[in-house]
């Protein structure tokens, strides 16, 4: 059982919804980014999504794109991202870390080498947005063979014909993208999300976690109320970009976590 599986099993046993929070590794620099990451579990974060900076993040809106640019300009690399996870693991051996990004840096490193390094750093799962199910042999299956969950995205345009393919070989949880388009755009609607979550649940026993368009404690509560939990990314990255003290950023994250957990 992975840390992700264990976390969601524990949440289910408590009757609680999950709160997943995203930050970009190295934004705006390594030290500040790591300080936020280390404070996330105490702020109520159940699963940490750690963004891997990339030069061409096609699924991301301006907020995440700019975060990636800031991180890259500050010298963030794949090695430093894995080192950040490893530093976090020195103090926390239970909170799951999901590495989220694009395939190019992994391909350049070499899949087997990357997977060994990610596992050694304490990474528990991968979300690689530009690898469709047709490419499972590339990374998904090798990752799962090494004990890492491979988390897939389903969207409003994933129809009933496509959905079984998306769910095949997915593990950890299913990330449901609540809106069409890029990250950080429109606000998510629980009324629209609820029937989609039920549709996905008919095809899998995995937790369904909803992201994109969750920006406030109220929305976190509403979205988590119709799913197994929610993800917040752009709203947190905006707080980091504002230059606020780490304590204020973590207080904002706690307000979102409290919202999700009150669902």
List C-alpha distances in Å: 77 to 3, 31, 100, 154. 25, 14, 14, 28
Instruction: Give me the phi and psi of 137, to 5 degrees please.
Output: -65, -25
Distance between CA 82 and CA 88 in Å, rounded? 10
Q: Which of 5, 27, 46, 49 is catalytic?
A: 49
Verify whether residue 196 is a known catalytic residue.
Answer: no
Residue 134 annotated in active site:
no
Closest CA to 209 of 256, 151, 167, 166: 151
Phi, psi of 46 (to 5 degrees): -90, -35
Both tokens assigned to 253: 């994250």
Residue 239 to residue 171: CA distance in whole angstroms: 31
247, 238, 221: which is closest to 63 by C-alpha?
238
What are the tokens at 99? 């590495």
Residue 60 tokens read as 């991301």
Cα separation, 67 vs 212, whole angstroms: 16
- Note the Cα 80 to chain centre separation in Å: 18
CB 23, CB 48: distance < 8 Å:
yes
The CA distance from 262 to 16, in Å, is 8
- Which of the residues 27, 60, 136, 196 is marked catalytic? 60
- Which residues are part of the catalytic machinery? 49, 60
């Amino acid at each position: 059982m992975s840390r992700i599986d264990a976390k969601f099993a524990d949440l289910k046993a408590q009757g609680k919804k999950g709160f997943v929070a995203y930050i970009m590794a190295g934004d705006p620099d390594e030290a500040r980014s790591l300080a936020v990451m280390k404070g996330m579990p105490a702020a109520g974060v159940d699963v940490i999504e750690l963004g891997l900076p990339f030069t061409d993040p096609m699924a991301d809106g301006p907020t995440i794109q700019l975060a990636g640019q800031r991180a890259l300009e500050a010298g963030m690399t794949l090695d430093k991202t894995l080192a950040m996870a490893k530093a976090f693991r020195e103090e926390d051996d239970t909170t799951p870390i999901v590495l989220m990004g694009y395939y190019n840096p992994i391909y350049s490193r070499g899949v087997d080498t990357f997977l060994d390094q990610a596992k050694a750093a304490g990474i528990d799962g991968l979300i690689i947005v530009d690898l469709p199910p047709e490419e499972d042999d590339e990374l998904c299956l090798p990752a799962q063979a090494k004990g890492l969950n491979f988390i897939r995205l389903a969207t409003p345009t994933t129809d009933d014909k496509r959905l079984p393919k998306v769910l095949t070989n997915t593990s950890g949880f299913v990330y449901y993208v609540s809106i069409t388009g890029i990250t950080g755009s429109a606000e998510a609607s629980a009324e629209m999300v609820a029937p989609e979550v039920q549709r996905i649940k008919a095809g899998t026993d995995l937790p369904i976690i909803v992201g994109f368009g969750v920006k406030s404690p109220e929305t976190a509560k509403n979205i988590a109320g119709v799913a197994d939990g929610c993800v917040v990314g752009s709203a947190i990255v905006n707080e980091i970009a504002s230059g606020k003290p780490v304590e204020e950023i973590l207080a904002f994250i706690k307000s979102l976590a409290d919202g999700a957990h009150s669902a």
